[in-house]
Structure 1
Amino acid sequence: MRGDLHIHSTASDGSLSPRQIVKFAKSRGVDTIAISDHNSIDGIAEASEAGKEYGVSVIPAVELSTRFNDESIHILGYFRNKKFNSTDFQQILKLVRTHRVHKLRKVLLGFRQHQTFNKYLSSSEGIHLLRAFGAAVVLAHPVRISDKNLLSLLSMPFDGIEAKYCRSNDYYTNFFINVAFKRFSFYTGGSDFHINRVCDHKHCLIGEPYLNSAELRKFVKSSGALILGSNIII
């Protein structure tokens, strides 16, 4: 089995529809994917239905935009239940997309008391927000994070990190896998797919890199992530 747990669709800034992504993943020998659009879950239902047709397991996810010390930090959430379909979560994501953070914090008071007044959603807020809606929380592409902030972020209460990442190399992949073994419950991997072109120098095609069967089983067992679409047992 092969899994790619970081894929973007037309529900955010990707070039393929969720259905096209499932079909493309199948053609590339990838049978487990996570649709993880930026601040959106709108592609999950379509991907799940397509997964049933093409025999692809779909893990519902989101990539949340946050800030830490003036650096853009992305946080991946892999959902353990269907709380992500709630009206509250949809409204929260809309506020994130439209940068209405002050209004967002008023909504968040119902889930957790926050004391930050920055105009951006903080990484700490992002972690607790995703947890409140039943997600296992992962630090996205740590290889792209500045050295000045990385150590502090790795000390935050993430469940896992994205150790296998597009455009990384063997040294950093192995480094972050070792970090995951020491500090977290699991690691993930993904292409950060956006567009079906080999000339995309920032991202990769689906399945580059991928999680193998053992890594997928570890992820599902440790994260408790929900599996939609195909009835394939991971």
Structure 2
Amino acid sequence: MVEYDLHIHSTASDGLLNPEEIFKIAYMKRLKGISITDHDTVSSLSQGKRLGFEFGIDFIPGIELSTVYKNKEVHILGYYIDYTDENFNAFLNTLQRSRYDRASKMVKKISDLGYEISFDEVLKTAGENYNSIGRPHIAQVLINKGYFKDIPEVFDKLIGSGKPAYVQKYKVSTFGGIKKILDAGGIPVLAHPMLIEDLDKYGIEKMIKKLKEHGLLGIEVFHTKQSIEDSYWLCSIAERYDLTITGGSDCHGRDRNINYLLGSKGVSTDKVVELKNLRR
């Protein structure tokens, strides 16, 4: 039973719904609680706390950090973080500056390749998401100008890894990301393990074992892009390594059928109680 959706993105990063819209949908779907887990930013969390009181919905402050483990992108969710922690916010400010600088360099490369594009246009497209500005915003400007038909095409031909306008991102190690979450009083959880590129089950389990040694406390078992079979297997891994279980929709807005993903995946209240008990 989905009572808590623990993986939701707002307009503070790359989501299409603002916090108030998220809470309205959660209320409509009768969820007991939610967590907003924006990419590398906590800017929606104070509003989320206020809205939680207004809607009578349990709000769990969260984040999703983009990290690197052996040259693979690995996302770490952090729950119950102290989003006012000065050191943690200084770390996030570094990530945001690196995103901004990276986007600016990529726009310069694209312009040098003959495309008419300015950084101001990208900033305007990002709008409220300027703290999490990234390649999708650049791609959208190019699509709007008729250079490409969709975002995958822009990545494949221009801004994907190894392509002409690609710029390497600022790297945070997965071990480092886990430590930052722990230092902010949070609970680090491995996000959607089955989506990590070029990693089979043997590799995933080996990685989880190593991350556990560095402070990992949970695994996201339930996710819209992980099958039931995946979830059963991940449950067994969580039990084997004494890790808590979480789940969420990874909602960024609507799916291709114009339905809200929010609330489609998640966990029951008893799993959230287990999660809360891990707080230091």
Corresponding residue SS for 1:99: helix
The aligned residue for residue 24 of structure 2 is 23
Aligned mates of 1:31, 1:143 — CA distance in 2: 27
Identify unmatched segments of 5+ residues in structure 2: 100-168
Contact 2:88 2:180 in 1 (8 A): no
In the TM superposition, what is the alpha-carbon distance from 1:91 to its structure 2 partner? Answer: 1.9
The aligned residue for residue 90 of structure 1 is 89
More strand by share: 1
Contact 1:41 1:61 in 2 (8 A): yes
Q: Match for 1:211: what amino acid?
A: V
2:190 to 131, 139, 150: 139
- Show the 5 A alignment for 1:79-158: 79=80, 82=82, 84-99=83-98, 120-145=171-196, 146-147=199-200, 149-155=203-209, 156-157=211-212, 158=216
Aligned mates of 1:23, 1:91 — CA distance in 2: 32
The answer to whether residue 241 in structure 2 is matched with residue 183 in structure 1 is yes
Contact 1:198 1:205 in 2 (8 A): no
Which structure has the greater CA radius of gyration? Answer: 2
Contact 2:39 2:66 in 1 (8 A): yes
Aligned mates of 2:206, 2:93 — CA distance in 1: 28
Aligned mates of 2:85, 2:176 — CA distance in 1: 19
The aligned residue for residue 52 of structure 1 is 53
Q: Match for 1:151: what amino acid?
A: E
2:226 to 168, 173, 190: 168
Aligned mates of 1:170, 1:197 — CA distance in 2: 19
Q: Match for 1:99: what amino acid?
A: S
In the TM superposition, what is the alpha-carbon distance from 1:198 to its structure 2 partner? Answer: 4.5
Greater relative contact order: 1 or 2 (C-alpha under 8 angstroms, separation 6 or more)?
Answer: 1
Judged with a 3 Å threshold, the aligned counterparts in structure 2 of structure 1 residues 169 and 85 are, in CA distance, closer, same or farther, namely same
The answer to whether residue 121 in structure 2 is matched with residue 65 in structure 1 is no
The aligned residue for residue 74 of structure 1 is 75
Judged with a 3 Å threshold, the aligned counterparts in structure 2 of structure 1 residues 98 and 64 are, in CA distance, closer, same or farther, namely same
Which contiguous aligned blocks of 4+ residues in structure 1 show a shift greater than 6 angstroms?
A: none
The aligned residue for residue 159 of structure 1 is 217
In the TM superposition, what is the alpha-carbon distance from 1:131 to its structure 2 partner? Answer: 1.0
Residues paired across the two proteins, number? 203
In the TM superposition, what is the alpha-carbon distance from 1:149 to its structure 2 partner? Answer: 4.3
| Identity over aligned pairs, percent | 30
Corresponding residue SS for 2:251: coil
Q: Match for 1:153: what amino acid?
A: M
The two structures, once aligned, show a CA RMSD in angstroms of 2.2
TM-score (norm 1): 0.80
Q: Match for 1:176: what amino acid?
A: L
Aligned mates of 1:144, 1:35 — CA distance in 2: 20
More helix by share: 2
In the TM superposition, what is the alpha-carbon distance from 1:99 to its structure 2 partner? Answer: 2.8
